[in-house]
Amino acid sequence: MSISLRLAQPADVPLIFKFIQGLAEYERLADSVVATESLLAETLFSDRPYAEVIIAEWAGAPAGFALFFHNYSTFLARPGIYLEDLFVDPAHRGRGIGKALLVRLAQLAVERNCGRLEWSVLDWNEPAIGFYRSLGAIAMDEWTINRVTGEALQQLAASGGYPD
């Protein structure tokens, strides 16, 4: 059996959505998913895509995905790749699919002259943390992620924020 990787196409939207739902269940966040196939199609495959997706297949069957986008480091003055989601279907775990996806992302980062590849992992996900460390990843424990979303985002946007 073998792993194959390919960039997702618009016809893959239902599969991507299925993988997102599987990831959300694994991360105990299924109630947080408000994505729809329509929104995914719009944001991934419109004239201005906001992210890219690599689909992993095992013996021709869908096995996992990596969803990523470019960010930018001012200190490096170079782009980076941010891995938003990595998911391997439970039936296909332990076959090297997660590593293959990360290797491909690292290759893309090098090909695209990126200064880094980074991602977040839930602090309770010890299997993933151990796996990432085995690949040379370093936890950035001194950094705290901040997020403004939902009503707080709407309020911040509406506040003006400009001094008179």
Residues 6+ apart with CB under 8 A from 123: 129
Catalytic site positions: 132
Q: Nearest-CA neighbor of 55 among 27, 107, 17, 16?
A: 16
How long a stretch of residues is the chain? 164
Contact between 51 and 44 under an 8 Å Cβ cutoff? The reply is yes
Query: Sign (positive/negative) of CA torsion 9, 15, 21, 27?
Result: negative
* DSSP annotation of 40: H
